[in-house]
Structure 1
Amino acid sequence: MRQLVRTAPAALPAVLRAPLALSAALATAVLVALGILHFHDAGLTGIDAALLPSIDGVVPPWRYLALTVDFGGEPAGSVILVVLLSAVCVLLRRIRTAVVTVLGVVATVAVTTALKPLVGRTIHGEFLSYPSGHTAMATVLALVIAMLLIDRFGLGRPAAVVLALGFALVAGVVMGWAEVALGAHYPTDAVGGFCAALAVVPGTAWLVDRVADRL
């Protein structure tokens, strides 16, 4: 097993190291800035107030679509997605990427969970909302899929950056929409979740590669 991990392709493709390091730094800055801006905030304020008439959510049939998307971020749904993606990585002999799939989700969820009480932003009077863990989880999986495809097809830097950030953005927007549509989060909560994933995943992948190289 040690040999498989050591000789497996890098989880973080070389063409993405510098771009994702930069995006991680920017995402961290935005994550912290939004946390400070909405420290112990409650209700619609600022950008959220400009985007939403209320936090009541949408009605059917859009609500059904939002619930379907939301399931992917629930404990059962997220476990299913993580197991499936990890299995695909193992079948493709991308062992390090499989490890990043698990550790990336765990680390990002840990960050979003720790930030919620620290920031103390609430929705519907009692539920901690910043940042969105669902949005973060979806973004993590999208980034891992992108890294897997980039390595698999040997994409150059421009295409790799577009693919990685494009996948992350689409996943973040879709899950973020679902959370806002269900009245579970404010739009800036979704932005915070997206940024949390961008901040955590590159470092996690880099660390997995460093440890694997030393085995």
Structure 2
Amino acid sequence: MTGRPAPAVLPRSLCGWLGPIAALAALVVGVLGVLYAGHSEPGRVDRWIVQPTADSVGPPWRRVALALDFLGEPAGAATLIVAAVTGCLLLRRPRAAVLVVAGAAMTVGVATLLKHLVGRTIHGDGNLSYPSGHTAFFTALAVIVALLATGRFGLGRTAGMSLVLAAALVAGGAMGWAQVALGAHYSTDVLGGWCTALAAIPATAWLVDRVADWLVDRMADARRRDRR
């Protein structure tokens, strides 16, 4: 034990940009939630992009969509989380390991709560669709990895934000495509899930850093008292 605090999971170079982005993402989630509350049919934007059906994509792309979809299911998501936490611990980044677990839990928890609050359904039978939990989770994990890479490699504001946004776009776009292609979600559900992750992860990372710093300060105070 060196007594030095572990590296922050929210790089200081990105704080000035991630805050407004998270606020804007939360606003988009709220607006879409109000617009589609209680709906059971695709909206105008959804129909313009693609009419959701169970067979809107065929082989071999359907297998790709199913593979991506599995990564958002409990078994696939748990595998990704375990792998990410293991990598963080091997790199001696305990805060990062906490962020992986807390960030995923926060994002999925918020998405699940919103589904019940908004009450939008797809294909009947009470299938709640807004926002897409699969898209939210996969985007969240990508953003977390990008944040950790930014801090580890000391990337500046422009490079760091470019990496974070690129990771979010690629991960969210891939999982979102799979969800729409498989008829599991409307396009606006995917956008809502993507924005949910962009709103939840910066806030969770900030909270992890604040709690960790507080614990370090408490431990330092306790050591000073012991020396007296």
**Structure 1 alignment gaps of length 5 or more:** none
Q: Partner residue of 1:178?
A: 178
The 2-side partners of 1:173 and 1:54 are apart by: 16
Greater than 4 Å deviation, 4+ residue runs = 3-6
Alignment of 1:150-165 (within 5 A): 150-165=150-165
**Aligned residue for 1:36?**
34
After TM superposition, the score normalised by the length of structure 2 is 0.90
Q: Does 1:142 align with 2:151?
A: no
Q: Tell me the equivalent position of 1:82.
A: 81
**Cα deviation code 1:27-51 (max 9, x no counterpart):** 0000001111111111222200111
Residues 65, 5 of structure 1: alpha-carbon distance in 2 compared, 3 angstrom cutoff: farther
> Which whole-Å CA distance do the structure 2 matches of 1:50 and 1:167 have between them?
26
* Structure 2 unmatched ranges of 5 or more: 216-228
Distance in 2 between the 1:183 and 1:54 partners? 5
For residues 89-137 of structure 1, the C-alpha deviation after alignment (integer angstroms, 9 at most, x for no partner) is 1111111111010000001111011111211111001211000000000
Letter in structure 2 aligned against 1:42 = S
Quote the residue 1:58 is aligned against.
57
Q: In the aligned structure 2, how far is the partner of 1:5 from the partner of 1:77?
A: 37
After superposition, the CA RMSD in angstroms is: 1.4
Give the deviation of 1:148 after TM superposition: 1.2
AA paired with 2:61?
W
Pairing partner for 2:16 from 12, 15, 18: 18
Distance in 1 between the 2:212 and 2:198 partners?
22
The corresponding residue for 1:205 is 205
- Residue of structure 1 equivalent to 2:112: 113
Structure 2 distance, partners of 1:27, 1:53, is 25
2:89 and 2:83 mapped to 1: Cα distance? 10
Percent of paired sites with the same residue: 54
Distance in structure 1 (CA, Å) of the matches to 2:186 and 2:157:
34
* Equivalenced residues, count: 213
Question: 2:4 and 2:108 mapped to 1: Cα distance?
Answer: 27
Q: Counterparts of 1:23 and 1:122 in 2: how far apart (Å)?
A: 28
Q: Provide the rounded CA distance (Å) in 1 between the counterparts of 2:183 and 2:161.
A: 32
TM-score in terms of structure 1 length: 0.96
The corresponding residue for 1:124 is: 123
Decide whether aligned partners of structure 1 residues 54 and 70 sit closer, same or farther in structure 2, where only a CA change above 3 A counts: closer
Cα distance in 2 for partners of 1:110, 1:54 equals 25
The answer on whether the counterparts of 1:6 and 1:214 sit within 8 Å (CA) in structure 2 is no
8 Å CA contact retained: 2:142, 2:171? yes
- 1:48 is aligned with what amino acid? D
Letter in 1 for 2:193: G
* Counterpart code for 2:26: T
Question: How far apart in 1 are the matches of 2:3 and 2:39?
Answer: 45
Cross-structure match for 1:169: 169
- Aligned 1:86-97 pairs, distance under 5 A: 86-97=85-96
Match of 1:193 in 2: 193
Going from structure 1 to structure 2, the CA distance change for 1:184 and 1:6 (only over 3 Å counts) comes to: farther
Q: Per the alignment, do residues 64 and 4 of structure 1 end up closer, same or farther by CA in structure 2, a change over 3 Å counting?
A: farther
